[in-house]
Structure 1
């Protein structure tokens, strides 16, 4: 198995029998939220370092429902049919949580995006996660001012 994080987890703990296709949309969003945050934080810390408080504040500007909804809008046309279906599953999932600092539309879009990221992660398609996020950041300019 490759020396990637998911591969190491599967090697150490076993792969289990629940692949991405068998996960609920909200389970995909749960793990996708973590992966999205991990990518953003990795970019921030490796490009500029800095104090944790400063990094956290910069990450908060990008890792929130409104920013994620904007990113989704920027990449929607680039999604495959399969990716669009996964996104819709996440967006339409019944969630007991509610939007705190965003509209319900933005919150649902963000949940759909997180479900897509989670699906791609569990399927081992890290290159596609990075490709979509990079494309979205370039189109929205969300990561342009990392050094604020």
Structure 2
């Protein structure tokens, strides 16, 4: 799994997970890679340091990321992070929790067999990759977004 730091024309910085560099390039060419904040499809990779996971416990079967919020840095000023978290929490609050049926519901919505709506839930890494390969846009969210809006 490749984790890439990405940026759109509006300078929103976000993370993307791909099976390989070829998978990233393929999804980018098919217009499947978009900024989660503004929807811009003009995305490019940023320089990033490799992440070495030496002995950490693998995450459980969930579409939610187990990572902490982005640290403060010049690329992520505190106000930008606060704004991003508020927008992401609002999206969570306005979506339907379908639990472990996430992959199944996402496919039904994509095929037009269910009403189009915002959903959230749990999916395994394999299910998430399969959904992306099928052209179904999904966004893994960190658990911190489950906290109430303030």
Q: How high is the TM-score relative to the length of structure 2?
A: 0.26
Structure of higher RCO (CA pairs closer than 8 Å, 6+ residues apart): 1
- Structure with the higher fraction of residues in helix conformation: 1
- Structure with the higher fraction of residues in strand conformation: 2
Q: How high is the TM-score relative to the length of structure 1?
A: 0.27
